[in-house]
Amino acid sequence: LAEHPAGMASPHTEEPPTKGTADPDRMELSQRLAVEELITTEASYVHNLQLCLSDIRAHLQQKQLPDFDLEGLFSNIDDILHLSRQFLRGLEATAAQEHDQLLGTLFQEFKEEMETVYKIYCASYEHALLLVESYRKDPRLQEEIMDTLNATVPHTSASDLSFFLVMPVQRITKYPLLLGKILENTPAGTSTHQALAAAVSAMAQANANINEYKRQREVATKYNKAEHLTLRDRLARLNTHSIAKKTTRLSRLLMHEAGFVSKTEDKEYDNLEEKFQSVASSVAGLKENVASYMAHLEAFLVPAPHKRELQMEEGPAQQYHRLAEHLHRAVFPEFKRRLDRLVWQPLCSLSEMLVGPQQLVKKRLDKLLDYEEIQERKSELGSVTYDEEAAMNTYLAINALLVAELPRFNQVAVQLLGQVLGSLCVLHQDLAAEVLHEAEKELKQLPHGHMPLPAFWRLVEDTLQQAGAQLRTFTQAFETVTPGPVTQPLTPAEERKVLSLVSKHGPDKLYQVTSNVSGSKDLDLTLQRGQIVALLQRVDTKGNTSRWLVDAGGPRGFVPAAKLQPYSPVQSQQPGMQTPTLESVPDRRRHSYASPEAPRPQVATFTPAFQVVAGFSFAARSPQEVSLQAGQPVVVLEPHDKKGSTEWSLVEVNGQRGYVPSSYLVTVPVQEPMGWSLPV
């Protein structure tokens, strides 16, 4: 845009001073025109920024174009407009007072704010231009952009958005020139000249700081991206230079650790990095725990008690049925959705935010090692090459950027982490309140819902005493019945694995997993219910006895001790081998605890081709069981217990009868005596 609006005369079109006009008059006129140019162009600049935001950006926002990055295009132009309006009001107030000394003071007052907002915009300007170029290659998006420009600012004849996006970059660089023009026409030695000279210096320094910040951001952008390279890509990058550079870095790092060379100390940076690493570790740990929590919550919602049909039509059971149905269908799913939206997603975003700074911190260490090496060479030789000077500047840029940005980043990260933890606490409070509210509604319908508290506790005590008496009665009756084991049946592949574990560790070390195990920590195993493992240690590396070290038939790791139970190894029978039973004898009693039977008449029998022996030793744990020694022959009386379970078998050993685990019995061929054979 033209810096001078229509109708305003340029300083070059003014009538030349007459011959009688003194030089001070000419300087005063030129100074006044330079001040007017500053104020007029500032007003035009503010007007164009207003058009850019209220018209162009708003129009594009209404279109809701897919894959269109408005924030990337316009960056923090809102902050620039807000600051420029304030600055323009200050310029106009200064011009009204006709005191040019205040003009220099005004620029010095706004210097810090200008530097802060313009360095952000200038650092992202290259990215905005890349977006404009990509949109120009998309006919559909380019057509929408041109439609917006023609509808909002047709008088500018702008061909694309870069016409407006470049204005802040041009304006901040023009302030020193405009001030210099005013300074040239200000008499030297006056207070006004000193103030304007200080303003010119301040704005030149602001531009230098903006350029340095932009350079730092470019270096950071180069290194803070996490690269996901394959092994082939990494090998392709290797060359003589890169190998030599990495070797030099490793050598210097080892000398640091050994104390042969001193490490460059930067206490300010070290404190910032320590806090950053603490925040990163906290975020990673919380993310891991929340992921495990959500997995357990998912598993908790799988069972559906309300889907079980009850035989009782009324009473507390039905009320619990209704409560469970409401909780599983409404309360818990809503809690899970809120947990994902308010905790998990923000936590993942925070974790992604840490990737860039982590890469930059890592790259700073590499560049620090290069910097120290070059510094030593410079002290010895007195000079360095251009590439070495560039490497030193890269380290200084990364270090300066981290020192400047990490305090704010750490503060924001801690705030976000606190908000995530706060949301987690509030969600659990809401869940507890909702469950209590629903339970109280059902409680009011129970007979004792309105009972006084003392009477209610007496009812609870009486109910517990009755339940205890029933439990003791049931326990006494249950002790007379041999319980069947709860081991799960195994596949042939599992049986082979069990035999391998038995050969390595012995049968007394075998355990079976009672429920699914999802490993959430390092060295934890993920196992399915029913898998067989061998116990190696009853304690983990930290002395925790609730995590046991096991061998899962290949991988080794830790599992919760509460999810393991002793297991008796199962021996699979060979084809054609049948465990002999006496069920074919019609007068054999089903149960073992009958009086010994009367002697039977001797009948001629043939020696069987197979016999049953004890595959493993077994120690009786109750009067209803009988002990076995490995390899001891047994006679199977019944291949099941009194409940019909085949997990236990009734056997006779050395004249004693009792139950033994069926899995401890093995059918083997009978060794025939030498010199004769069975009759055909």
Highest mean pLDDT: which range of 291-305, 326-340, 519-533: 326-340
Q: Which long-range contacts (CB under 8 A, 24 or more apart) does 334-343 make?
A: 335/427, 335/430, 335/431, 335/434, 336/294, 336/297, 336/298, 336/301, 338/427, 338/430, 339/294, 339/297, 339/424, 339/427, 340/294, 342/423, 342/427, 343/290, 343/420, 343/423, 343/424, 343/427
Q: Are strands 532-537 and 510-513 parallel, antiparallel or unpaired?
A: antiparallel
315: left (phi over 0), alpha (psi -120 to 50) or beta: left
- Distances in Å between the Cα of 661 and the Cα atoms of 102, 502, 613, 667, 668 are 102, 16, 12, 14, 17
**Arithmetic mean of pLDDT, 290-302:** 89
> Is residue 13 predicted with pLDDT exceeding 80?
no
**CA–CA separation, 542 and 648 (whole Å):** 40
Q: Which residue, 27, 21, 25, is CA-closest to 186?
A: 27
Buried b (16+ CB within 10 A) or exposed e, 405-416: bbeebbeebeeb
Please report which residue ranges of 450-491 form alpha helices under DSSP H. Answer: 453-479
Q: Which residue has the higher pLDDT, 480 or 67?
A: 67
Helix, strand, coil content of the chain in percent (nearest 5): 60, 10, 30
Specify whether the CB–CB gap between 95 and 37 falls below 8 A. no
Give percent of the chain with pLDDT exceeding 90.
22
**Unique residue bearing structure tokens 């890349």:** 130
**CA–CA separation, 309 and 318 (whole Å):** 10
Measured at the alpha carbon of residue 572, what is the angle toward residues 569 and 573, in degrees to the nearest 5? Answer: 140
Q: H-helix or E-strand containing 624? A: none
> Is residue 190 predicted with pLDDT exceeding 70?
yes
Ramachandran angles phi, psi of 510, nearest 5° = -85, 140
**Arithmetic mean of pLDDT, 582-596:** 38
Give percent of the chain with pLDDT exceeding 70.
79
- pLDDT for the residue 227: 54
Residues paired with residue 228 on neighbouring β-strands, in sequence order: none
pLDDT (tens digit per residue) in 116-151: 999 999 988 988 998 989 888 888 888 888 888 888
Q: Which residue has the higher pLDDT, 306 or 155?
A: 155
Three-state SS sequence of 128-187? HHHHHHHHHCCHHHHHHHHHHHHHHCHHHCCCCCHHHHCHHHHHHHHHHHHHHHHHHCCC
Q: Report the residue count for the chain.
A: 680
Q: What is the dihedral of CA 117, 123, 126, 132, to 10 degrees?
A: -30
Q: Report pTM.
A: 0.47
3-state secondary structure of 570: coil
The token duo for 252 is 């210097």
**CA–CA separation, 592 and 642 (whole Å):** 9
Lowest mean pLDDT, pick from 71-85, 409-423, 469-483: 469-483
Q: Which residue, 75, 63, 78, 81, is CA-closest to 146?
A: 63
The token duo for 475 is 């326990």
Q: Which residue, 42, 45, 47, 48, is CA-closest to 92?
A: 42
* One-character DSSP codes across 64-86: T-TT--HHHHHTTHHHHHHHHHH
- What average pLDDT does the chain have? 79
- pLDDT for the residue 315: 66
Tell me which amino acid residue 650 is.
Answer: L
**Arithmetic mean of pLDDT, 89-103:** 81
Q: Which residue, 371, 403, 396, 398, is CA-closest to 384?
A: 371
Tell me which amino acid residue 107 is.
Answer: F
The token duo for 617 is 């030793």
**CA–CA separation, 8 and 96 (whole Å):** 19
Lowest mean pLDDT, pick from 267-281, 441-455, 494-508, 577-591: 577-591
The token duo for 193 is 């000249």
**CA–CA separation, 629 and 619 (whole Å):** 9
Please report which residue ranges of 302-443 form alpha helices under DSSP H. Answer: 316-326, 332-339, 345-353, 355-381, 386-443
Q: Which residue, 36, 394, 465, 476, is CA-closest to 222?
A: 394
Cα 579 off chain centre by: 56
**Arithmetic mean of pLDDT, 288-310:** 81
Specify whether the CB–CB gap between 152 and 55 falls below 8 A. yes
Residues paired with residue 254 on neighbouring β-strands, in sequence order: none
> Is residue 415 predicted with pLDDT exceeding 90?
yes
pLDDT band per the 50, 70, 90 thresholds, residue 113: very high
Specify whether the CB–CB gap between 620 and 463 falls below 8 A. no
Lowest mean pLDDT, pick from 4-18, 324-338, 637-651: 4-18
Within 13 Å, how many C-alpha atoms sit on residue 285's CB side? 7
**Arithmetic mean of pLDDT, 594-619:** 56
> Is residue 472 predicted with pLDDT exceeding 60?
yes
Specify whether the CB–CB gap between 394 and 219 falls below 8 A. yes
The token duo for 60 is 């594009």
The token duo for 395 is 């380290």
pLDDT (tens digit per residue) in 640-660: 888 888 888 999 988 888 999
3-state secondary structure of 494: helix
Specify whether the CB–CB gap between 548 and 559 falls below 8 A. yes
pLDDT (tens digit per residue) in 398-407: 888 888 888 9
Lowest mean pLDDT, pick from 195-199, 270-274, 444-448: 444-448
